[in-house]
């Protein structure tokens, strides 16, 4: 589902995805350095046609909400989403990608995650948000821990990255712990 809410943080503004953003997504998600940390690293490169298909599908998907991450100056630098939303059980999974590499490790992702968690817990009244990340994703893990995520377990050989099995951490934050 396209986010209807605009979320404002200290460093970022999260806004709804627009069809005009798809060319950015194609560029970001076809960049080998960006793909390296994403679950799509073994999938074929994206095309505008595949992204248009994703966009149309996502618009009607009630189990996901996607935002574009913008700097306060209005530059789109990535996206963040809640997916696998299960309101009956009060949980969702988080996904984030900063596609503009010059914004890595500068607090933009942390601010975006904090805004999405606030929305998930206060607006949606979820009780749990979880994520999977590569065990060696030091930058990502640091961000998630700053936002309150705790390591819950190790999933051995969970995914492939450049043809090699990679261990993944499952991390979660609970509303009651915030």
Range list of H helices, 5-105? 22-29, 32-35, 48-59
- Does residue 38 belong to any structural domain of this protein? yes
- Does residue 63 belong to any structural domain of this protein? yes
Instruction: State the Cα–Cα distance between residues 69 and 47, nearest whole angstrom.
Output: 21
- Does residue 78 belong to any structural domain of this protein? yes
Q: How far is CA 41 from CA 38, 48, 56, 109, 160, in A?
A: 6, 18, 22, 20, 8
Instruction: State the Cα–Cα distance between residues 143 and 116, nearest whole angstrom.
Output: 13
User: What does the pLDDT look like over 39-97, one tens digit per residue?
Assistant: 888 888 899 999 999 999 998 999 999 999 999 999 999 999 999 999 999 999 999 99
Q: What is the pLDDT of residue 100?
A: 98
- Does residue 25 belong to any structural domain of this protein? yes
Q: Please state which of the ranges 16-20, 39-43, 120-124, 160-164 shows the lowest mean pLDDT.
A: 39-43
Count of structural domains, the chain: 1
Q: Which two tokens stand for residue 24?
A: 């950015």
Q: Which domain holds residue 77?
A: 7-177
CATH of the domain at 172: 3.40.630.30
- Does residue 17 belong to any structural domain of this protein? yes
For the cut 80, the answer to whether the pLDDT of residue 1 exceeds it is no
- Does residue 1 belong to any structural domain of this protein? no
Q: Which two tokens stand for residue 143?
A: 């961000």
Rg over alpha carbons for the chain, rounded to the nearest Å, is 15
- Does residue 2 belong to any structural domain of this protein? no
- Does residue 65 belong to any structural domain of this protein? yes
Going by their DSSP bridges, the two strands 76-86 and 65-71 should be labelled as antiparallel
């Amino acid at each position: 589902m396209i986010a209807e809410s605009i979320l404002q943080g200290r460093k970022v503004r999260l806004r709804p995805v627009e069809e005009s953003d798809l060319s950015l997504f194609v560029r970001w998600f076809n960049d080998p350095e960006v793909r390296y940390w994403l679950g799509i690293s073994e999938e074929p490169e994206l095309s505008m046609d595949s992204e248009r298909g994703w966009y149309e599908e996502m618009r009607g998907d009630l189990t996901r909400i996607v935002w574009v991450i913008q700097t306060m100056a209005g530059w789109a630098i990535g996206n963040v989403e809640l997916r696998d939303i299960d309101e009956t059980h009060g949980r969702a999974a988080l996904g984030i990608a900063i596609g503009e590499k010059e914004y890595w490790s500068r607090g933009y992702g942390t601010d975006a995650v904090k805004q999405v968690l606030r929305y998930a817990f206060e607006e949606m009244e979820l009780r749990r948000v979880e994520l999977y990340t590569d065990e060696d994703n030091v930058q990502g893990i640091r961000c998630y821990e700053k936002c309150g995520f705790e390591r819950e377990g190790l999933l051995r050989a969970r995914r492939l990255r450049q043809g090699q099995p990679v261990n993944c951490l499952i991390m979660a934050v609970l509303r009651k712990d915030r």
